[in-house]
Structures are given as structure tokens and as C-alpha cells.
Amino acid sequence: MKTLAILGASGHGRVAADIALQSGWGDVVFFDDSDTNRTRFEHWSFAGNTTELLNSFGHYAGVFVAIGNNKIRSEKLALLRDINAPIISLIHPRSIISPFATLGSGVMVVGGAVLCAFSCIGDGGIINSGSTVGHDCQLEECVHVAPGAHVAGNVHIGRLSWVGIGAAIRQGLVIGSNVMIGVGAAVVSNAEDGQVLIGVPAKPKN
């Protein structure tokens, strides 16, 4: 029976566990840096913090970072890469992924998500439930496309950016790194690094 180690005992971690079990993993074990005295997380075993995972990853067939914060997720993935831990991606069996799409390591694709032809999702990306990523899109490391958000074709999104629930991005745009796109925003022009965009049409927040 294959066991997956999941770093991040939270709601996002529960989603990761659900996808893992639906995808053929036999069991999951959780790690997290908070409340480390516990022995259980929901239905599953809890085995300690990040340091304990780094020291014991060899006991597991795979490791997945289930932390919603893009920056922290990127940092944890870097630690695991440095020790050659077996970082895996989690793909819900009811997502739709083109055979011509490319996924990095540590990616989560949730049920109902669609990745179109020649889209590329960087390491640690999250393509959440019911979201779509159009053809030829390039999403850099640890980008989160939230539930129900839609990214049209030929869009480039920089690392650590967040596309909020129900947001839409017009085709052909360039979205910088560490950009936050608000809930329901309609992005119709390029975004610079670090901007927060809200509204319809989306504009930088003052």
C-alpha cells in the first residue's frame, strides 16, 4: 500500500487527501508546523512538523505540499527539492487535462478543472475546482487559480500570483509576479508585479 506524506494539515490538506485517495493512494500521513502534539488529523495519522518530514520522507512513496499560501508553499517545496524528496502532483480523476498540457511537480488539479492544449503549469501550482486554463497559457511557480476562475488563452502569469474566485483574465495578457486578483474581477489589461486588482473591469487597488 502506497502512503503519501502531506505537509499542511488544513482545509487544503483535506482536499489533497481526498484527491490522493481517489487517485489510488492507499493512505496519507499529515505533517504541519502548528499543534504538533496531536496524533490525528481528521481520519488520518499526524506525524509531526516540517523538520520531522525532512528527516523521514524516505518512509513515504511520495510527498505533497498542501499549503494555500503561495509564498510558504514555494519555500516548503524548495526545502523538499534540496533533499531530493519524491514530490508528486495530485490530479483529480474528474478534472480534464489535455495530453498536450505540461505540469510541474507538486501541482494540484481539483475536480472539474480544465487545462487546455499546450498550457503549462509551474511547480506547486493550484488549479482549483471548476476553473479553466486556456490554450498556450504559461503559469509560473506556485500560481493559484481559485475555484470558478477562468484564464483565457495565451496568458502568462508570474510566480506566486493568485487569481481569485470567479475572476476572469482576457486572452493574451501578461500578469506579473505576486499579483492578487480579487474575487469576480475581470482583467482586461496587463498587470505589473505586486499589484492588487479588483473590480469590473479590474483596476489596481489604491
Strand 196-198 to 203-204 pairing:
antiparallel
Sequence-ordered list of residues with C-beta below 8 angstroms from that of 37, at least 6 positions apart, any chain: none
CA pair distance 127, 179, nearest whole angstrom:
16
**95 appears as a binding residue in the annotation:** no
**Residue 10 assigned to a binding site:** yes
CA distance 86 to 2: 13
13 is in an annotated binding site: no
Q: Is 11 annotated as a binding residue?
A: yes
The reply, when asked if residue 27 is annotated as ligand binding, is: no
119 is in an annotated binding site: no
Whether the Cβ atoms of residue 116 and residue 101 lie closer than 8 Å to each other: yes
Q: How many helices (H) and strands (E) does the chain have?
A: 3, 24
**Active-site hit among 43, 135, 150, 156:** 135
Contact of 46 with 56, CB cutoff 8 Å: no
Reading the block at residue 45, the C-alpha cell is 495519522
Q: Does the annotation count 92 as an active-site position?
A: no
Catalytic residues: 135
List the binding residues for acetyl-CoA. 144, 165
Binding residues for substrate are 10-12, 32-33, 68
Could you list the residues known to form a binding site, using ranges.
10-12, 32-33, 68, 144, 165
